[in-house]
């Protein structure tokens, strides 16, 4: 899903349940990143493909899909 679609869906207050369902996996991953102390942004790469960018202080990582992001979060997430 491209950043433009996400932005359009959020700014227009999409009433369509399927559009909101499409955002759930991204919002869940974003919340997991926040709980681990990272900021997560969905954007488009230079080639126009969706790219997930996670930052914390001077660290910036980009991912091409949610599974890759979740795997990385499992490694960096603080353990209780």
Q: Parse the chain into domains and list their residue ranges.
A: 3-76
Q: Cα separation of 11 and 26, whole Å?
A: 16
Whole-prediction pTM:
0.68
pLDDT tens for 4-35 read: 555 555 555 545 666 677 788 888 999 999 99
Predicted local confidence at residue 7, as pLDDT: 58
Contact present, 38 and 55 (Cβ < 8 Å): yes
- Which has more confidence, 48 or 14? 48
Taking the mean position of all CA atoms in its chain, how far away is CA 52?
5
Is the pLDDT assigned to residue 55 strictly greater than 70?
Answer: yes
Contact present, 40 and 69 (Cβ < 8 Å): yes
């Amino acid at each position: 899903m491209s950043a433009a679609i996400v932005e359009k869906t959020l700014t227009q207050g999409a009433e369509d349940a399927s559009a909101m369902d499409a955002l759930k996996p991204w919002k869940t991953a974003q919340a997991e990143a926040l709980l681990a102390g990272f900021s997560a942004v969905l954007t488009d790469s230079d080639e126009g493909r969706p790219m997930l960018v996670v930052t914390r202080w001077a660290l910036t990582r980009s991912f091409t899909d949610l599974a890759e992001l979740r795997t990385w979060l499992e490694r960096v997430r603080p353990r209780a």
